[in-house]
């Protein structure tokens, strides 16, 4: 890939704070989605109310970006597309309008909104690179309170990004690369704070999502990401799929790969679904 192609590919996934501020001041500002969420916390909306990017709408990951949890489908099943469309319209997403999602955790929760909208056919969705911290570091202001936008008219159709199910995940390592985006100690089975069994899908490769990011919470440069994923046997043209605990941070991995031109499928049920099925084998160790 030439540098120009690399830059264009990355720009289709990520936008920096200064560029986003310029777009917001333009004639067709993007819809801003604030997706603050963290496992085990429920104060994302309170954080949003205290201060968010001007005009941003709060998105609840648990209730709007996922169906109710179940043993059969996992902790964050994909939402019904009609429910997602209704939510996206509440957020003010219009047909053909750009969307930018952000959070306060390096994009690890905002990527769920990025992936779902892309999967549902919205072409222009990006992540704010570095999220809230990058915006503040650029000297840009926040505003408090709730934002209620004019309703949008977007029409969503699922299937624009690839997904796999548990049977596909079982077979995937024989034909391609299956990346486990959880922390290394969860992959190894040393700890399991949430799901029924500890370990990983046999044949999966450990690829912690946190290693997609630099110390400041922005995505690593394209050449560093390319080198990272090449070492994990995840390169353009190779069959790549990703899972995590419940399909949330795996979306961040899919975004990181997309930023360097590698298409990856998402296993939405992820470990929460796999580990709940006693008939599915579990591997441990590094």
Which helix or strand (DSSP H or E) is residue 32 part of? strand 31-34
| Contact (Cβ atoms closer than 8 angstroms) between residue 128 and residue 13 | no
Q: What order do you get walking across the sheet with 240-243 strand by strand?
A: 205-206, 177-180, 240-243, 265-266
Residues pairing with 265 in the sheet: 241
244 catalytic per annotation: yes
Question: Please, what's the b/e burial string for 69-102 (b: 16 or more CB within 10 A of its CB; e: otherwise)?
Answer: eeeebbbbbbbebeebbebbbebbbbeebbbbbb
| Given 101, 127, 164, 244, the catalytic residue | 244
Could you tell me what percentage of the chain is helix, strand and coil, using 3-state DSSP and rounding each to the nearest 5? 35, 15, 50
List, in sequence order, the alpha helices (H) in 128-265: 131-137, 166-175, 184-188, 222-231, 249-258
Active site residues: 244
């Amino acid at each position: 890939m030439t540098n120009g192609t690399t830059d264009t590919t990355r720009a289709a996934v990520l936008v920096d704070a200064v560029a986003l501020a310029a777009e917001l001041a333009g004639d067709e500002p993007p819809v801003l989605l604030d997706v603050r969420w963290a496992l085990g916390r429920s104060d994302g909306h309170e954080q949003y109310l205290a201060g968010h990017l001007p005009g941003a709408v709060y998105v609840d990951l648990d209730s709007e970006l996922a169906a109710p949890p179940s043993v059969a489908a996992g902790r964050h099943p994909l939402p019904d597309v009609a429910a997602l469309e209704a939510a996206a319209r509440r957020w003010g997403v219009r047909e053909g309008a750009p969307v930018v999602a952000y959070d306060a955790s390096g994009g690890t929760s905002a990527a769920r909104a990025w992936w779902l909208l892309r999967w549902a056919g919205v072409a222009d969705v990006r992540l704010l690179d570095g999220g809230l911290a990058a915006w503040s570091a650029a000297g840009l202001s926040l505003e408090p309170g709730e934002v209620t936008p004019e309703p949008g008219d977007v029409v969503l159709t699922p299937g624009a990004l690839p997904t796999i199910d548990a049977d596909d995940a079982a077979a995937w390592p024989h034909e391609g690369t299956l990346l486990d985006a959880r922390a290394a100690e969860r992959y190894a089975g040393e700890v399991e704070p949430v799901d029924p069994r500890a370990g990983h899908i046999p044949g999966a490769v450990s690829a912690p999502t946190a290693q997609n990011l630099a110390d400041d919470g922005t995505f690593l440069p394209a050449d560093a990401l390319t080198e990272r994923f090449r070492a994990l046997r995840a390169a353009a043209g190779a069959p790549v799929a990703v899972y995590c605990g419940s399909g949330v941070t795996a979306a961040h991995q899919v975004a990181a790969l997309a930023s360097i031109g590698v298409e990856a499928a998402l296993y939405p049920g992820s470990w929460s679904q796999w580990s709940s099925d006693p008939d599915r084998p579990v591997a441990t160790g590094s």
